Amino acid sequence: MAFSVLTIIYLLASVSFITGLKMLSNPSTARRGNLIAAAGMALAIFGTIFLYTDDTGTKLGNYSWIFAALFIGSVVGTMAARKVKMTAMPEMVSLFNGMGGACAALISIVEFNHLSHEIYQSAGITLNDIFPASASYSAWFSEMAIILAGLVIGAISFAGSMIAWAKLNGRINDFSFKGQHIFNIVLFVVVLGLAGWMAGVYQNANNMVFYLILVLSLLYGVFFVLPIGGADMPVVISLLNSFTGVAAACGGFLYNNKAMLTGGILVGAAGTLLTILMCKAMNRSLLNVLIGSFGASAAGTAKSQVQGNFKEINLSDAAILLSYANRVMIVPGYGLAVAQAQHSCHELEKLLASRGVDVKYAIHPVAGRMPGHMNVLLAEADVAYEQLHEMEEANEEFPTTDVVLVLGANDVVNPAAKSDPGSPIYGMPILEVELAKTCIVNKRSMKPGYAGIENELFFRPRTSMLFGDAKKVLQDLTAEIKNL
């Protein structure tokens, strides 16, 4: 009876995951969808704790350890989520994603020890032998293949996510050496070869080889992410997220757990689709992202570094232009996030709207440091979802826009992506802000963005630079407009 009830619980949990994921596609239902999926996960966890029994009818036990871990994890996770700044959200996503990969790898380690001891101890074989004799076990390949897949993918996801976290956090810089891509390929082939040898050729439960695969997988995860530049981080985060989902699905296969399997498949599929969309948004293949090191060493690869003279605009003139415009388009970038200026931006937007100005936001798919970063920031400030326009729609409206206000965006508005074949961002779809009647760009300085190249937009005749911290500039603009 307990098994039947648990099966129903897993089914309900799976449905809640699917429903929650669907609701995440719309900001108006995203919060509720997140809660529904979380409730389904809680149901699956407590159902497993209290209702699961093995083939002998034995329940889990160790409740004190289980609930102590749940309590500690819940407290730490809640405190971290409450205290994290929106600018640090990409780092937290990478950190949590890495923890998921680590869990999947730990599951594989536990199940390997369980499987190998069960089979080999009964055969009287010593596990520490370098080449132990094979033991007869009909399901060896299927179980071992899943265990090794979870180990390799989970370890790569964990190590890669930790490097991504450290790079986004500014703790380490991009690093590469000559022949690194060849080194990575050879390392990955060695990992696959050892895993195939263990799973299929000799049916070998050697401890030394298993943990060697773990170490090499962790090493590959590190060198896999190290050379990738900051501009490609949204793609890398999506890809690592899909890795974690696949690794979790392997755990679902091992335990025949429908909820775990469904959740892993959903995360893996969503991460893969998002990775494809991110690559499409940058007009680059995934292979090019992984081996191109875009953003790591792009400086100096464009045709020229100095484009000419730029003109600066003062607050009063900028306030007049915005206040008397018919249509204004705001382009948020990472500079907006760093300054925590989303609320000030919303205040300016509301003030302009009260004066009859049509204000909209143009969102580039890879703006920020993770997919949807700008959308999350603006949603936090209660910006209406209807005002957010995706790149294709925004580009159609720029020619009829009076003023474009660019807040900290750089590479995603650089015309070199269309005009300079020598630029490392050439071919990347951009927000065509240069087509507007007037473009005001707010930046702290003239320093280039993550691609490491000068922005042609800054030197265009319709562009004016408004230097300063985004939050203070927006607050001062709001004050100036109120005084008009």
Which residue, among 433, 396, 398, 401, has the nearest Cα to 417 in the 3D structure? 433
Alpha-carbon distance 407 to 436, whole Å? 15
User: Could you say which DSSP state residue 440 is in?
Assistant: E
- Distance in angstroms (rounded) separating the CA atoms of residues 190 and 174: 25
Helix axes 373-380, 342-354, angle to 10 degrees: 70
Angstrom distance (rounded) from CA 474 to CA 337: 13
For residue 76, CA distances in Å to 69, 85, 95, 413 come to 11, 16, 13, 39
Token readout for 480 is 């100036």
Selection from 199, 479, 139 nearest residue 319 by Cα: 479
What is the C-alpha to C-alpha distance for residues 187 and 177, in angstroms, rounded to an integer?
15
CB-CB neighbours of 447 under 10 Å: 10
d(CA 65, CA 48): 15
- Supply 359's token pair: 């204000």
Q: How many CA atoms lie within 13 Å of 411's alpha carbon, on the beta-carbon side?
A: 28
What is the distance of C-alpha 62 from the center of its chain? 35
Q: Which entry of 232, 411, 469, 476 is annotated as an active-site residue? A: 411
Q: What are the residue ranges of helices labelled H in 256-372?
A: 258-281, 286-292, 315-323, 334-338, 342-354
Beta carbons of 453 and 416 less than 8 angstroms apart: yes
411 is catalytic: yes
Place of tokens 């050379």: 227
Sequence-ordered list of residues with C-beta below 8 angstroms from that of 276, at least 6 positions apart, any chain: 286
The length of the chain is: 484
* Residue 37, token pair as written in the block: 């999926």
Catalytic residues, by residue number, are: 411
